[in-house]
Structure 1
Amino acid sequence: MRPADRFFNEVLLTAPPAAAVTSVLVAHLLPSQPPFLDALRRVSSLAAVIPKPRSVHRTVFEQARAFAPVDTMTREDLAGEQGLVDYLERRAAGLPVVLLDVGGYFSPGLKTACEAFSGQVLGVVEDTENGLRRYAAHDKLPCPVYSVARSPLKEAEDRLVGESIVFSAEALVRELGEVLPGRRACVIGYGKVGSSIARTVRARGLPVTVVERDPVRLAHALSAGFSAADRPQSVLPGADLVFCATGSRCLAASDLAGLSDGAFVATATSADDELDLSGINDLFTHRPIARHISRYERGGRHFHLLNDGHAPNFLHGSALGPAIHLVQAEILVALGRLATTAHAPGLCEVPHGIRCAIADLWVHTFHPSTHPHPLLKEMS
């Protein structure tokens, strides 16, 4: 039995039973997913899987189809007032449902779904900071929304995500015969992923300037020894390698006109989350010059956009190792809690003691030589 399967077996033995609940899952269909999908269908009736569009491994896609219907959809497909209701009626009519989200897919239609769906939306579990912001922007949430985005169990994953983004960006740069050393880097956003990117780029020997508007994070960047500024416009002219890691459209097309000649731009999420590219065709001419690299030109100057502005790490599988299973286990526990316990509408988090127990099981499974302590608290 694979270590991941043993780990999820232990989690399911101690997690609240989900009873008769249906789930709908948004997911990156990458090699780390099958053990989680298998565990998920053991605690819920998996009605459908919605793959994130730029992170689909063909073999995993076929494996997912053996678990449940796989519906190729975008956030926009569910964004209309009736979009989510119609989808739930098609896949889970009349059933109690927990929505497992990555990126706020269900946020626009959640209120209508809670009011008009023939079944019952028990709640949402959101995996990302970007998605959490979408739910937090509701004036009043119509159901409970569990956030694992800011869980301490996710910190290991976020660190590895930052490293994988730098790895993939460098792989693309090298396709043009270029290298990272010798470049001046700018990292916009010093959250968990952005700080990991900054540390990884500095470890490659590049000078790094961090751009961060939040004063606490700006202080953290400065105390970690980075040059820092509170707005990108003052930094971009001197940067020839830019990573955008805010999830909130940190650069507009007009900002890109201020880049250093020949700069490379990469993001940590999707293009529509990080970049406002409206009007870019009025400012630049562009053409693909290599697979997943486009060159934008204006007035004899140019910059390169990696992977059309989408996170490049998924081009190389975004391998995160066993750390990804920590967050997946917390998602399963949150699902069980929504299925078995009445919750008031609003944002929720899995209690600290349960997170400690998940971590203890993970250490025991993947690093048994560390002699972990007994479970700190039963997951109930």
Structure 2
Amino acid sequence: MPSPILTHSYYSDFFAHKGYAFLKKIAADYTPPSNLVIFSVMHCYEGSLPYINVLAELADSLVFIPKSATAEQNQALKGTIQTIPHCNIVDDHFNKQSLRDPLVAEALIRQSISADSQFLILDHGGYFSHAIEYLSQVFAEQCVGITELTANGLYKYLNKSFDKPLVTVSHLSIKAPADYEASECIVHYSDQILREEFGLKINNDEFLKVGVIGAGNLGRGVIQYLKGKEISCIQVADIDSRKLTQFPRNGVQVSSIERLVSQCNMLFCCTGNGALSEALLDSLDKSVFIATVTSADDELRLPELIASGALIEVGGNNLVREYHTRNKQSLYLLAGGESANTPFKTGMGDPTLYLFEAAHMLAGLQLLEDSHGFKAGIQALSETDEIMIAERWLHHFYNYG
């Protein structure tokens, strides 16, 4: 068997081999069925290579659907992924937008499976959510189930009626370390963009007033790293007031979303779903800079805002996209409207990435082993499984126990 392709650049394999070995240990407890096809939606990161290799070894065919935010910036890496045995990257026209059409999703699956294939969908961001009701009927005998990695992706599956199991790992506590890692990158890279494109520093209190919308793992992480940059006046808002009770004692000002937007001009949107309403954008009386923790398509529902005329795109580059509100105020989306950590080699230098990858993979393996043990619709990976992953990870990387 050839050596796995774990890195794209010669200098970046410090954790890749250990990560690959860890994921292999998790998978070793299961024997997937023959003629298995796995559809995997994933960021096109170098840090994902160990995971892609393990999935490709589990399946007869791994159909890799790269998320557009990172695929466009990492064309050379896509070439490396294409050389992994049993791994096939989909054509560019199979993307988040086109897969909203059930017939397009059906066409992708039909071209990838044979008559006796079983297939599993490892989703990331709800790519198959719009088509799942249709797919679960058309492929009733061959679709084993779905797993979903993210909270914003899970949201898209809510209120859908489908008779296949969906196992979510979006709210596991073992995802928190990777969320804090992402938060650090988001703050750091937002600062770099402000410096390079606007000649500003993020801690320029005289010009930038910083607000954070959303007080989940990512929002709390963003606040932590903002405070590390000695930003003294941070406002935070969340629709769930319980999440705000921790902040006053830590010197962070709690606020309504309306007041925060009216007073701040550097916004970190950390909700995963619709952080800024059309009415709030219409109320803007100044230009604002916005960094999002996921694609602006989800975080701001950007296509809807453009369709309604609340935002009009006027230009920009891969670092900044500029939009105008109805009141002619400028809205600058940092990182081109994608999560502000996408330019970084996510997962490189920090093995927390392998925690949620292991959970995502394990959920799929359990579906393959006993899909009848899961009910139709949405359910979470068990606490027992989460503890097992945490203990094995601690032992593998840090000699725990």
- Return the alpha-carbon distance in structure 2 between the equivalents of residues 222 and 141 of structure 1: 43
| Mean Cα deviation higher: 159-168 or 197-206 | 197-206
| Mean Cα deviation higher: 125-134 or 343-352 | 343-352
- Return the alpha-carbon distance in structure 2 between the equivalents of residues 294 and 357 of structure 1: 43
Task: Give the alignment partner of residue 81 of structure 2, picking from 64, 70, 87.
Answer: 64
- Return the alpha-carbon distance in structure 2 between the equivalents of residues 133 and 218 of structure 1: 22
User: For residues 92-241 of structure 1, what are the structure 2 equivalents within 5 Å?
Assistant: 92-94=113-115, 95-117=117-139, 119-138=141-160, 140-175=161-196, 176-181=198-203, 182=205, 183-206=208-231, 207-222=233-248, 224-230=250-256, 232-241=257-266
Contact 1:244 1:250 in 2 (8 A): yes
Match of 2:363 in 1: 334
Contact 2:20 2:50 in 1 (8 A): yes
Structure 1 residues 278 and 360 mapped into 2: Cα distance closer, same or farther (>3 Å)? same
Match of 1:378 in 2: none
Structure 1 residues 146 and 282 mapped into 2: Cα distance closer, same or farther (>3 Å)? closer
Q: Secondary structure at the match of 1:235?
A: helix
Shift of 1:208: 1.2
TM-score by length of 1: 0.88
- Return the alpha-carbon distance in structure 1 between the equivalents of residues 83 and 141 of structure 2: 25
Q: Secondary structure at the match of 1:344?
A: coil
Shift of 1:240: 2.0
TM-score by length of 2: 0.84
- Return the alpha-carbon distance in structure 1 between the equivalents of residues 120 and 252 of structure 2: 42
Q: Secondary structure at the match of 1:247?
A: coil
Match of 2:109 in 1: 88
RMSD: 2.4
Contact 1:93 1:118 in 2 (8 A): no
- Return the alpha-carbon distance in structure 2 between the equivalents of residues 29 and 237 of structure 1: 37
Shift of 1:53: 0.1
- Return the alpha-carbon distance in structure 1 between the equivalents of residues 76 and 307 of structure 2: 38
Match of 2:9 in 1: none
Task: Give the alignment partner of residue 52 of structure 1, picking from 59, 67, 74.
Answer: 67
The share of aligned pairs that are identical, in percent, is 22
Shift of 1:45: 2.5
Number of residues paired by the alignment? 366
Output one character per residue of 1:219-250: Cα deviation in whole Å (capped at 9) or x when no partner. Answer: 344455421223x2222221121011112222
Shift of 1:358: 1.7
- Return the alpha-carbon distance in structure 2 between the equivalents of residues 149 and 84 of structure 1: 23
Match of 1:377 in 2: none
Unaligned runs of 5+ in 1: 374-380
Contact 1:48 1:91 in 2 (8 A): yes
Structure 1 residues 306 and 259 mapped into 2: Cα distance closer, same or farther (>3 Å)? farther
Match of 1:351 in 2: 382
Shift of 1:297: 5.8
- Return the alpha-carbon distance in structure 1 between the equivalents of residues 218 and 391 of structure 2: 24
- Return the alpha-carbon distance in structure 1 between the equivalents of residues 313 and 70 of structure 2: 28
Structure 1 residues 41 and 169 mapped into 2: Cα distance closer, same or farther (>3 Å)? same
Structure 1 residues 262 and 63 mapped into 2: Cα distance closer, same or farther (>3 Å)? same
Match of 1:270 in 2: 295
Task: Give the alignment partner of residue 25 of structure 1, picking from 16, 19, 40.
Answer: 40
Output one character per residue of 1:338-376: Cα deviation in whole Å (capped at 9) or x when no partner. Answer: 1111222122333222222222222222223xxx12xxx
